[in-house]
Amino acid sequence: MSNNAIARNYAVSRVQSKCTTCSLRELCLPVGLDERETEILGELIDHKFRIRRGEHLLHTGLGFKSLYTVRNGFFKSYVLDSDGCQQVTGFYMTGELLGLDAISSEKHTCDTVALEDSEVCEVPFAKLEEISRDIPLLMHHFHKIMSREIVQDHNIMMLLGSRKAEERLAAFLLNLSERFAKRGYSSTNFILRMTREEIGSYLGLKLETVSRSLSRLQEEGVIAINNKHVRLNDIQRLSRKLYSSSDR
Amino acid sequence: MSNNAIARNYAVSRVQSKCTTCSLRELCLPVGLDERETEILGELIDHKFRIRRGEHLLHTGLGFKSLYTVRNGFFKSYVLDSDGCQQVTGFYMTGELLGLDAISSEKHTCDTVALEDSEVCEVPFAKLEEISRDIPLLMHHFHKIMSREIVQDHNIMMLLGSRKAEERLAAFLLNLSERFAKRGYSSTNFILRMTREEIGSYLGLKLETVSRSLSRLQEEGVIAINNKHVRLNDIQRLSRKLYSSSDR
DNA sequence: CGCTCGGTTGACCCGTTTCAAGTAACGTGG
DNA sequence: CCACGTTACTTGAAACGGGTCAACCGAGCG
């Protein structure tokens, strides 16, 4: 099994590599790879980091070497513009890939901070490109991941550009819901790891507006919200919130 | 020169491939490639399309086969959401790559339409991935292009999320200015290919607000605008517009 | 136990949207 | 080439959504 060209080139170790046993295989980079390919990928992920809540994983301006996959936990990325105004560009959960923005300039363009105690796997980018030459599926999947990021950003642009506060919140909650569901958590009952201010920053709203919109959704009975804990009572009705705006 | 492994594999034709003589080499996909590599890339770009102003190059939902590079002309991409509201997601000019959003789902997620008579080169994506296995520089450059798209989207998100109308316009004009400059056109004197409505859609504003903001910038003497023709009189002052907002 | 930080709610204000009217540019067909 | 209709653009006045400021509450942490 290890007796083939690829295995020789990459000197697959006998110790079980981390990826092969990782429960995230199907969410993360190794999607669709076979055992051997996964093992090769696992070889390259040499470091696993533990990041405590509030600590930074990445800083703007930092030289780019690696991508990071969230092994567990929760992150936010944000950009600080010239006058110190912070804008959250994304929230990242288990299996998602951090640092894609840095490939173009070879410097990170966001700060990334853990919103709860978390672990990440470091993926040295040069090595990733190298082995993806031999594992076309990996290369293709990586392209899909980057493309997905672009699509997601377009969706956010859509929200920011033409949706009212309540619609943005609805979209935000539904997006979280889906992502939790995909990870085997409840799609209707979850904890918001971020503050109202961070939600607002992501959605282009002030924290007071976030608070008010959530309150209104609760009054309407569509959601129940208690501090950080949310329950989606009526996903149907929540979804309908998205379809009711003016043109722009 | 054609007598090597790569050339044999890809049967480089003797006819000069389009990329090698293309003036866009350094803006487009072949950045940094040597003659032979460029020729191989050129081999794969088998079709060149002419798109008339107002015609669509891509439709949402269309199956994904190829990327397209703008050879000359000007495009906009937009998404139509559920209730028919149109949001422009980007403007594309010479040398820029269209269709990256479609890689993830294998369907196009935007409509793309020419804002003036244009030409594009079709880049079959499967072939691009294939040859990028043999041309690591091409693969890497492609990753940079995707990453750049992500960074750009983050910048737009920033604008949409926390900037006032006039600041958005200033950022928009400066961005166009830079891109024109990079293509050898005047950075202070150019034609807006898009309507006020399209600018507004891109920037999350109504066309009237775009018009008013442009008028104000003109009153201040920072720009001169006459219909579609813009002149940036004071880039310094225009840049300073970006640094003066509240937090969010 | 008290302090701090995050969250909620109210009142007021401001910027952008909306609605409307009028003008300028453009493309088409005669 | 001109006349026409259409589309794009500008500008004003009024309405409204979200921002701002401020007070208060509640949870979590040291």
Would you call A150 an interface residue with chain B, using a CB distance cutoff of 8 Å? Answer: yes
User: What is the rounded CA–CA span in Å between residue B53 and residue B62?
Assistant: 20
Strand partners, B107: B63
Cα-based distances in Å from A51 to A22, A36, A54, A74, A116? 19, 30, 8, 10, 8
Q: Which nucleotides of D are covered by protein (CB under 7 A)?
A: 8-13, 17-22, 27-28
Cα-based distances in Å from A142 to A10, A132, B94, B109, B132? 20, 9, 26, 18, 14
Long-range contacts of B225-231 (CB under 8 A, 24+ apart): B228/B191, B228/B192, B228/B193, B229/B189, B229/B190, B229/B191, B229/B192, B230/B173, B230/B189, B230/B190, B230/B191, B230/B192, B231/B188, B231/B189
Q: How many interchain CB pairs under 8 A, A with B? A: 163
Average pLDDT, chain B: 91
Answer yes or no: is pLDDT of B11 > 90: no
Would you call B63 an interface residue with chain A, using a CB distance cutoff of 8 Å? Answer: no
Q: Quick one: pLDDT at residue A1? A: 42
Q: pTM here?
A: 0.92
Which residues of chain A lie closer than 8 angstroms to B81, CB-CB? 158, 162, 242
Would you call B205 an interface residue with chain A, using a CB distance cutoff of 8 Å? Answer: yes
pLDDT band at residue B24 under the 50/70/90 scheme: very high
Would you call B147 an interface residue with chain A, using a CB distance cutoff of 8 Å? Answer: yes
The answer for A 225-244 residues in CB contact with B (under 8 A) is: 242-244
Answer yes or no: is pLDDT of B76 > 60: yes
Answer yes or no: is pLDDT of B225 > 70: yes
Which residues of chain A lie closer than 8 angstroms to B84, CB-CB? 247
Type of residue numbered A186: S
Q: Quick one: pLDDT at residue B61? A: 96
Q: Quick one: pLDDT at residue A7? A: 53
Q: Quick one: pLDDT at residue A12? A: 52
Cα-based distances in Å from A2 to A10, A12, A108, A139? 10, 7, 37, 22
Would you call B132 an interface residue with chain A, using a CB distance cutoff of 8 Å? Answer: yes
**A128 neighbors A142 (Cβ within 8 angstroms):** yes
- Three-class DSSP category at B196: helix
Q: Where are the beta strands (DSSP E) in B85-236?
A: 86-93, 97-98, 111-114, 118-124, 189-191, 223-226, 229-232
| Structural element, H or E, at residue A215 | helix A207-219
Q: To the nearest whole angstrom, how far is the Cα of A100 from the nearest Cα of chain B?
A: 6
The answer for A 10-49 residues in CB contact with B (under 8 A) is: none
Structure tokens at B180: 């024109």
The chain A residue lying nearest B210, using CA atoms, is A248
In chain B, DSSP finds a helix count (H) and a strand count (E) of 9, 11
Distance A202 CA to C4 C1' (A): 25
Average pLDDT over every residue of B50-79: 95
Of A87, A100, A144, the CB nearest to B161: A87
Please identify which residue in the block is written with the tokens 């060149």. B48
Q: Do B150 and A146 touch (CB under 8 A)?
A: yes
Structure tokens at A105: 């300039």
The chain B residue lying nearest A208, using CA atoms, is B248
Structure tokens at A212: 């008010």
Average pLDDT over every residue of B23-37: 94
Q: Pick from B70, B69, B12, B1: which is nearest to B39 by CA? A: B12
User: What is the rounded CA–CA span in Å between residue B77 and residue B75?
Assistant: 7
| Structural element, H or E, at residue B18 | helix B18-21
pLDDT by 10s per residue, chain A, length 248: 444 555 555 655 444 568 999 999 999 999 999 999 999 999 999 788 899 999 999 999 999 999 999 999 999 999 987 777 789 999 999 999 999 999 999 999 999 999 999 999 999 999 999 999 999 999 999 999 999 999 999 999 999 999 999 999 999 999 999 999 999 999 999 999 999 999 999 999 999 999 999 999 999 999 999 999 999 999 999 999 887 554 55
**Range name among A4-8, A61-65, B87-91, B181-185 with the lowest pLDDT average:** A4-8
Answer yes or no: is pLDDT of B14 > 80: no
Q: Quick one: pLDDT at residue B82? A: 73
Q: Quick one: pLDDT at residue B86? A: 87
Q: Quick one: pLDDT at residue A244? A: 58
Q: Quick one: pLDDT at residue B3? A: 46
pLDDT band at residue B32 under the 50/70/90 scheme: very high
**Contacts for B75 with CB less than 8 Å, ≥ 6 apart:** B57, B91, B92, B93, B98, B112, B113, B114, B115, B118
Q: To the nearest whole angstrom, how far is the Cα of B215 from the nearest Cα of chain A?
A: 20
Which residue is nearest to the C1' sugar atom of C24, using CA?
Answer: B227
Please give the domain boundaries of chain B with CATH numbers for all domains.
48-155 (2.60.120.10), 164-243 (1.10.10.10)
User: What is the rounded CA–CA span in Å between residue B145 and residue B100?
Assistant: 9
**B232 neighbors B187 (Cβ within 8 angstroms):** yes
Answer yes or no: is pLDDT of B118 > 70: yes
**CB B207 under 7 Å to nucleic chain D:** yes
Answer yes or no: is pLDDT of B8 > 60: no
pLDDT band at residue B16 under the 50/70/90 scheme: low
Q: Do A101 and B150 touch (CB under 8 A)?
A: yes
Q: Quick one: pLDDT at residue B242? A: 86
**CB B228 under 7 Å to nucleic chain C:** yes
User: What is the rounded CA–CA span in Å between residue B106 and residue B121?
Assistant: 19
**CB A195 under 7 Å to nucleic chain C:** yes
Q: Where are the beta strands (DSSP E) in chain B?
A: 48-51, 56-58, 66-72, 74-80, 86-93, 97-98, 111-114, 118-124, 189-191, 223-226, 229-232
pLDDT band at residue B93 under the 50/70/90 scheme: very high
Which residue is nearest to the C1' sugar atom of D8, using CA?
Answer: B195
Q: Quick one: pLDDT at residue A3? A: 44
**A202 neighbors A196 (Cβ within 8 angstroms):** no
CB atoms within 10 A of CB A16: 10
User: What is the rounded CA–CA span in Å between residue A55 and residue A111?
Assistant: 11
Which residue is nearest to the C1' sugar atom of C19, using CA?
Answer: B208
Q: Quick one: pLDDT at residue B2? A: 42
Average pLDDT over every residue of B84-94: 92
